[in-house]
Amino acid sequence: MVDLDRYLKPDQKYYTAIGLEGSANKLAVGIIRHFPGQLSESNRAEVLSNIRDTYITPPGEGFLPRDTARHHRNWVVRLIKRSILESKIDIDELDCICFTKGPGMGAPLQSVVIAARTLSQLWNVPLIGVNHCIGHIEMGREITGADNPVVLYVSGGNTQVIAYSEQRYRIFGETLDIAIGNCLDRFARTLKIPNDPSPGYNIEQLAKKGKNYVELPYTVKGMDMSMSGILAYIDNLANDLFNNKKNNKIVFNEDGSPKITVEDLCFSLQETLFAMLVEITERAMAHVGSQQVLIVGGVGCNERLQEMMKIMVLDRKGYIFATDERFCIDNGIMIAHAGLLEYRMLGEGFDLKDTVCTQRFRTDEVHVKWRD
Amino acid sequence: MSDTIIENAKSHLRNIQVTVVSQGAEAIIFQTTQHPYLPSSISTSSESLKFIIKYRPPKTYRHRTLDQQLTKHRTISEARILQKLTNIAEVNAPSLIAIDSRNGILWMEHIGYELANKDISSLKNWLWQFNHDESKALTNEVQDTLRAVGRQIGELHKNDLVHGDLTSSNIILSENSKAFLIDFGLSSQSTLNEDKAVDLYVLERAILSTHPLYSYEYNKWLLEGYSSVFSGKQETKLKEILRRYEDVRLRGRKRSMLG
Amino acid sequence: MTQIKFPQFPQFINIHRFTNVLNSSEIKENLIKGNKDYDFAFINTKLIFSQSQLYSAIYRSLLELNNNNLRTKNIHSEILFCLSPINNIMEALKNFGIQNSTFDFIVIKISDNLEIDYNLNIINGEEIKFEQINNELIKFVDLKKLYKIYKLGTFKEVLNNEDILLINQKIINSIQLRGQ
Amino acid sequence: MPSAQYISPDQELLFKTNQLDTSQLSTIGITSGPSEYVKIDRDQPSEAKDTFYGKLRCKITNLQDQLNIFLTEQMGKEKNDKDIVELEKKLLDGNDDE
């Protein structure tokens, strides 16, 4: 077991950290408390505050990084104030200020790290940069108690199957092109459905009313998968449906009446994409010899994905872990948690020059010092 | 996998006595002494009285239509690869006997024999016999065998086929010590040197993790065998594959978690 | 006559071998007319290289029947279709069925019961033993045509044991994978 | 009074808030508005309170506007308009597609 208290000061009763997340369209602040000793069933991290404000765009619209960055810039101070108020902590109790170093969108990451650097100099509290995905994994493990799961990380920007080995979270299989969340969001745009609370959520509600399954390309290659082909194919079907292209026999019957509905398309897209995810996850489990699966990332809140994964995992007599939207959607508490773990091992913060954000930041680049 | 899956398999294999050999993420491998259509009196395949049945069970998490399509498609493409390998003399692979693509069933020739400890003569089990005895682990016989295995993979890649899951358990030594490649569930046709490099990298990591003591020599001999099949104008192709192999190793292609 | 049965399927497979048949054209006519008394598979021996080839085709047709996936009108025509590597029923009947000039053929009856409850008086020819050592059948084979139909590669006149095993395997591969 | 210094090979400039009467200033900058994508803007910065920090925010917003305008002009000198839009997009959106 790794000693997490090598830098515990004699009179220190707990550790406290604040986490700032803004790699995509969600700005989030979280404050967490660890008590000395190993994290376990009996020694859980305490969530003091976990608030989030999502930059919403009108239906059919994507979001420009500059507007997202502006949203983060103009809300971050208010959110931090509210979070500290809510957590009832005193500023000088803070051991470190954690921020998302990457991966993510450049401009939004920048807005948040400037706030973090300013606070660090204002309060003289060390800075810790956190890999967004490691945040999801560590928070997922802490909340669900899964000690060594295969992790399926599915969000707007990422699609990865990850397994821990030798102090690294290694990427087992991943998307060869666009992330699953991105695929769902862009299809939502084609359908012009609202982005509030999230395009993925609205696709899920439509999919629940879908009845007949439309055959879509199934593109798994070994441990990886690709989705841009599926998106192009289903976009085409949707456009033919909207533009009444009667010659498309998949979409229209002989008599010209539509054979499928938007709900059917959403249903079929989910069935195909999630089947691919569950397949590569099962392959990773068999390979690593693990019986646990943890789903993290925004798309992890999808009930159909959780249901399909559960069927597979129970079939293998394993266990499935998923978190609710407080944790599986981008949040600040996960950055605080992962950052605090790093801080407890380092005993000091990053130099200012090391707090530069990066849009590309692979999960297996991080040395996981806090696990043996 | 649960017993319902084995029951399921038996419903498609009426009156066939089977024993489970292994269970992977996708398929169950059974063994039987009954040939599907040759009366035992004239079983023409060589004296082997054992046959392999590879069964892809339905995956209940998938939509039924999608599941049937996938099972059918994968069973057929694996059989097609066995067909291709029949036409490539240099590569040893099990022969196809029968296929029931709708129910995801593939009958094929059984390869290998029982080692002293009753295990199947896979390269893994065969090498493990010498684990605790350096003098036996690095003999000429082992060297020749590993070079032979390397040649098999070289011939496979020369014919633009990629295995997709090369481990020492997917290589079987026959009675007359010929090396056979098995389990083409993840195999595909590919001219890309990148795919061939990843094939080699997956094997290297597998050898490293299952035979850590002598993995340096084993991987060296495998590569020697592999390179020996590329002669004449093929050598530029070999150089390109080996260069890609280096990139893949440096990038620590995510397959690295095999180690 | 030879009777075999596959473990997985309930039907009994009765195989007869006829030579010096004189009324092929009459049989062919009745077949085309769909005469009930001619409910058998009539296969000419020119392309039957081995027993495992024949059994592999019969196995596949019974499997298709079992999966109610027959592509032809009955089990007997399905056997002919399953012998062919090309996914075209007319082509299969032409290559493997009997012509007016066929003197030598194999007759197969798939029946649900053990006893032989039919007769082959409709054939004016001599029934001989089918159950010969495997390679005997090769004598009746038109090798050149076999190579062409099953795309066996460069033609080789004299076949050693290894050649025979390889050709047999290539044929079985095509039978099992036709149209899949 | 917040200031910003611009040093380049051929010139050196010092920027200061150019509006002494802070009541004229606000936290809504000319150059930091939303893109034309945004129909309803819910993300304006909060109003400035009448405090030291409140006034400081207004001055800095003003200073930032001056800098953005000056730097955009600098870019304009060498490039034609199309490149500017392209360069601006790259700077602002960091070539992330949305």
Length of chain A: 372
- Model confidence over C141-162: pLDDT tens digits? 999 999 999 999 999 988 899 9
CA distances from A330 to A54, A86, A156 (A): 10, 19, 10
- What is the DSSP secondary structure assignment for residue A1, as one 8-state letter? -
- Model confidence over B179-235: pLDDT tens digits? 999 999 889 999 999 999 989 988 998 898 888 889 999 999 999 999 999 999 899
- Six token digits for residue B189: 């046709």
Same domain, A179 and A296: yes
Within-domain flag for A39: yes
What is the b/e burial string over A332-341, where b = at least 16 CB atoms within 10 angstroms of the residue's CB?
A: bbbbbbbbbb
Same domain, A224 and A270: yes
- Model confidence over B23-74: pLDDT tens digits? 888 899 999 999 999 987 655 555 568 999 999 999 999 999 999 999 999 9
- Residue B244 host element (H or E): helix B235-251
Q: Which residue has the tokens 């999808």?
A: A302
Q: Is A106 on the interface with D (CB under 8 A)?
A: yes
Which of residues C31 and B254 earns the better pLDDT score?
Answer: C31
Cα B237 from Cα A119, distance rounded (Å): 57
Please determine, for residue B257, whether its predicted confidence score (pLDDT) is greater than 60. no
Rg over CA atoms, chain D? 16
Which of residues B42 and A68 earns the better pLDDT score?
Answer: A68
Which residues of chain B does C170 touch, with a Cβ-Cβ cutoff of 8 Å? 86-87
Say whether A302 counts as a known binding-site residue: yes
Q: What pLDDT is stored for residue B256 in this prediction?
A: 34
- Rounded mean pLDDT of D41-48? 88
Task: Tell if the CB–CB gap between B25 and A287 is shorter than 8 Å.
Answer: yes
CA distances from A339 to A130, A342, A349 (A): 6, 5, 10
Q: What pLDDT is stored for residue C13 in this prediction?
A: 95
Say whether A49 counts as a known binding-site residue: no
Which of residues A289 and A366 earns the better pLDDT score?
Answer: A366
Same domain, A322 and A199: yes
- Residue C26 host element (H or E): helix C24-33
Same domain, A304 and A355: no
Substitution target from B166, B201, B257 for chain A, most A beta carbons within 10 A = B257
Within-domain flag for D96: no
User: How far is residue A349 CA from its own chain's centroid?
Assistant: 25
Known catalytic residue at B165: yes
Q: What pLDDT is stored for residue B25 in this prediction?
A: 85
Of A240-244, B99-103, C127-131, C139-143, the range with the lowest mean pLDDT is: C127-131
How much is the pTM? 0.83
Within-domain flag for D25: yes
Which residues of chain A does B256 touch, with a Cβ-Cβ cutoff of 8 Å? 170, 364
Within-domain flag for A4: no
- Model confidence over C118-146: pLDDT tens digits? 888 888 999 988 865 656 788 889 999 99
Beta strands in chain B (DSSP E): 19-23, 28-32, 51-55, 96-100, 105-109, 161-162, 171-173, 179-181, 188-189
Cα B252 from Cα C12, distance rounded (Å): 58
Q: Is B48 on the interface with C (CB under 8 A)?
A: no
Same domain, A108 and A163: no
- All structural domains of chain C: 2-177 (3.30.2380.10)
- Number of compact structural domains in chain D: 1
Within-domain flag for D20: yes
ipTM of this predicted structure: 0.81
Which candidate in B67, B100, B119, B165 is catalytic? B165
Of A74-78, A263-267, C112-116, C134-138, the range with the lowest mean pLDDT is: C134-138
Say whether A157 counts as a known binding-site residue: yes
Residue type, A148: N
Same domain, A108 and A44: yes
Say whether A154 counts as a known binding-site residue: yes
Are A97 and A116 in contact by the 8 Å Cβ rule? The answer is yes
**Residue C6: closest C-alpha in chain B:** B37
Task: Tell if the CB–CB gap between A272 and B66 is shorter than 8 Å.
Answer: yes
User: How far is residue C53 CA from its own chain's centroid?
Assistant: 8
- The CA-CA-CA angle for residues D10, D16, D22, to 5°, reads 160
Cα D78 from Cα D39, distance rounded (Å): 33
Same domain, A72 and A101: yes
Within-domain flag for D89: no
Task: Tell if the CB–CB gap between B98 and C69 is shorter than 8 Å.
Answer: no
Q: What pLDDT is stored for residue B254 in this prediction?
A: 44
- Six token digits for residue B66: 């999608």
- Rounded mean pLDDT of C19-43? 91
- Number of compact structural domains in chain A: 2
Question: Reduced to 3 DSSP states, what percent helix, strand and coil does chain C have, rounded to the nearest 5?
Answer: 45, 15, 40
Q: Return the closest-CA partner of residue B94 out of B152, B181, B188.
A: B181
pLDDT-based confidence at residue B259 (cuts at 50, 70, 90):
very low
Substitution target from B37, B45, B76 for chain C, most C beta carbons within 10 A = B37
Facing residue for B42 by CB, picked from C51, C172, C176 = C51
- Model confidence over B156-192: pLDDT tens digits? 999 999 998 899 999 999 988 899 999 998 899 999 9
Within-domain flag for D15: yes
**Residue B37: closest C-alpha in chain C:** C6
User: How far is residue B213 CA from its own chain's centroid?
Assistant: 23
Secondary structure (H, E, C), A202-223: HHHHHHHCCCCCCCCCCCEECC
Q: What pLDDT is stored for residue B53 in this prediction?
A: 97
Cα A221 from Cα A295, distance rounded (Å): 21
Q: Is B98 on the interface with C (CB under 8 A)?
A: yes
- Model confidence over D63-93: pLDDT tens digits? 999 999 998 888 877 666 667 777 777 777 7
Chains B and C touch (3+ CB pairs under 8 A): yes
Q: Which domain holds residue D30?
A: 3-71
Q: Is A367 on the interface with B (CB under 8 A)?
A: no
Q: What pLDDT is stored for residue A214 in this prediction?
A: 95
* Chain C contact partners (≥3 CB pairs within 8 A): B
User: How far is residue A302 CA from its own chain's centroid?
Assistant: 12
- Model confidence over C61-117: pLDDT tens digits? 999 999 999 999 999 999 999 999 999 999 999 999 998 888 899 999 999 999 988
Which residues of chain A does D39 touch, with a Cβ-Cβ cutoff of 8 Å? 58
Read off the CATH number of the domain in which A270 is found: 3.30.420.40
Same domain, A303 and A228: yes
pLDDT-based confidence at residue D96 (cuts at 50, 70, 90):
low
Q: Which domain holds residue A32?
A: 15-140+330-365
Task: Tell if the CB–CB gap between A66 and D35 is shorter than 8 Å.
Answer: yes
- Residue A99 host element (H or E): strand A96-102
- Six token digits for residue D79: 């490039």
Within-domain flag for A271: yes
Within-domain flag for D94: no
**Residue A65: closest C-alpha in chain D:** D93
Within-domain flag for D49: yes
Q: Which residue has the tokens 């489970």?
A: B20
Task: Tell if the CB–CB gap between B25 and A286 is shorter than 8 Å.
Answer: yes
Within-domain flag for A234: yes
Closest approach of chain B CAs to the CA of C18, in angstroms? 21
Q: Return the closest-CA partner of residue A20 out of A140, A109, A90.
A: A109
Are B14 and B100 in contact by the 8 Å Cβ rule? The answer is no
Task: Tell if the CB–CB gap between B36 and C67 is shorter than 8 Å.
Answer: no
Task: Tell if the CB–CB gap between A106 and D94 is shorter than 8 Å.
Answer: yes
Q: What pLDDT is stored for residue D85 in this prediction?
A: 75
Same domain, A247 and A303: yes
Within-domain flag for A2: no
Same domain, A323 and A342: no
**Residue B63: closest C-alpha in chain A:** A271
Please determine, for residue D97, whether its predicted confidence score (pLDDT) is greater than 60. no
Same domain, A211 and A298: yes
Task: Tell if the CB–CB gap between A288 and B257 is shorter than 8 Å.
Answer: yes
Q: Is A220 on the interface with B (CB under 8 A)?
A: no
- Rounded mean pLDDT of A4-29? 95
Interface of A with D in 41-60 (CB under 8 A): 55, 57-58
- Rounded mean pLDDT of A152-163? 91
Within-domain flag for A248: yes
- Rounded mean pLDDT of A271-292? 92
Task: Tell if the CB–CB gap between B86 and C4 is shorter than 8 Å.
Answer: no
Q: What pLDDT is stored for residue A298 in this prediction?
A: 87
Facing residue for A170 by CB, picked from B25, B60, B257 = B257
Within-domain flag for A3: no
Within-domain flag for A188: yes
Same domain, A185 and A308: yes
